[in-house]
Structure 1
Amino acid sequence: MPDDQQTGNVVNSGDVPCSAPPQQKLEEDDEGYVHPDTATLFDAFPFMRHFPIFGTAVVPFGPKCTMSLGVVYILSKGLARTLLNASRYAMFMKKYGVTTAVYQRISGIGSMGFSIKPLTAILSDTFAFFGYTKRWYMAMSCVAGAVCAVVYGLLPFKSSSAGIAGGMIFISVFCIANIDVLSEGHYSRLIKRHPVPGADLISWIWALIMVGAIIASAIQGPLSDLGRPTVGIFISAGLQAFCMLFFIFNWYGEKKNLVERKEDYLFLLREAQMRGTDSEPIKEGVLGYDSTTNKSKSAAPYPEPFAQNGGNEL
């Protein structure tokens, strides 16, 4: 064997097949991100990919979050709320025997819960409860709403109970409104990061709300005609209490308040860097070029995240 001949397998560079570069793993906020649970669901049940509305909404958000939002909305805002509202005429006019004027006045007060729900959003964003700004507020709303619905159904059938019944309806509906506004805050954060499937997520939620309202009307109407409107009220209480399980196990997937605030800051910072064509990232902001002074200037587009409620966050 000649001395200049190398031992071993020698392969020319032209014989090496051209391999595709490894694909970069998409992060949770990246466009085109597919939730791992969604990929598993589509592998097991390929037909779910073509399911109307749900098949698109579930891609970045995951089946657990998407299904939890849908079930909570159909049970609370769809069924429970409609059952309470549909029971008012039979309870006040037939069971309590109040006048039309009293019924109209108390009925309006009972429907005011959704009008003041922004107050809950302000409170929850200001004071995190056990580290979460939504989860435990919604869990407590489920308990309080169910208790008030039970009290409303157990009141004696006399005119003096009308005022208390109106208050119980107001609190119970207000608790449902709390779940509504806090859920909106949760999925609006998700939609901001994935706006394309976000429209399908909203359609998914409202479709289930409408289905729940139709089912509740079909239940409460015959019960009121039979003189048993309290059955629908107790069903409403049970549905509100059942929704608490979704928040105890955190099936919404809400993260700690500090974690979400930091993620929001990084997301907004990255958006600002992408919008600025003449900017480059620096440690605590972006480096922009001022054309009027021909100088570079540093500016953080958003304030740094800070620990809400101090170090001892509830």
Structure 2
Amino acid sequence: MGRLSVVAPDGIGEVTEGTDLAALVAEVADLRDGDVVVVTGKVVSKAEGRTVVVGTGPASDAAYETHLAGETLRLVARRGRTRIVRNRLGLVMAAAGIDRSNVATDALVLLPLDPDASARTMRARLHDLVGVNVGVVVTDTAGRAWREGQTDIAIGLAGVQPAEAFAGRHDSYGNPLAVTLPAVADEIAGAAELAQGKLGARPVAVLRGRADLVLPVGDDGPGARALQRPEGADLFGFGAREAVVVALADEPHLRPVFGAPADLVELADAFDRVVPGSELRTDDGEGDEGAELTLPRPVPVVVVRALCIAHGWRLDGQPGHGAVTSAHLSPSAS
């Protein structure tokens, strides 16, 4: 019988810079070996001095923009005032994870500098204080592609496997499992949030019942960063509008976001959809991995280049303007 329990204790109180979070947890929670301690990134940031006073009014808005720029690696998508970005931690989040809730009205909270390191520090400190082997998950709230609403995810992790690998195993019917990879650290974060509540002033939870996921003392595991897809590996590296703009603008530093070069079949299909009657064939040149493109009519160079960029290819030896009826294409290094 599978059984899981999550307890979010009261009594944590207000956390400020320098607060010993592990000591607070040890006071309010009855910890056992194999437990997973879940703590919100918000209180970790507060304890680590990541709260920033920005004032109110126009000055506050300007300060917010400054901090948003400082936390952002690149824009993923924008709709009005909402900006989804890839932040300095590699997380894709609205407003880079900057939070203005559960904090003074003239302040904002930035994400921890290194949530995995924060989790490791808390795990070691709890072992010193209580003498038990627990895992630690640092969480934050994030939206999801395709789904309304938000859920908590793991942004920091120590002593817990981030995911369970089922690839190579078989289900009860004998079917092979090829890509099944439950992100258990995120599932733990979501379960804990149900007990904590957004307005319950309970930033800590203890999950019990999955001691099999907790690693031995001294083994902190790969951290939550292991759950992040690298640039180019995510099928949704840009929003729908932004992908079009980036491809047409031809910004070389953003090309890797489109991923590894598509195969010729996929690239040919794309050209045929945009310019019906296009033909793409492998170049017969020795050692050349490129292809020859033939178009049924003159097509602006900017269109051909954008299609190439979006599929991880490049247009060789063509001017930046005008039109072409044929071209040589090469796969770009991803």
TM-score range, shorter chain: under 0.3
Instruction: Give the structure with the larger helix fraction.
Output: 1
TM-score by length of 1: 0.28
Bigger strand fraction: 2
Which structure's relative contact order is higher, taking Cα pairs within 8 Å and 6+ residues apart?
A: 1
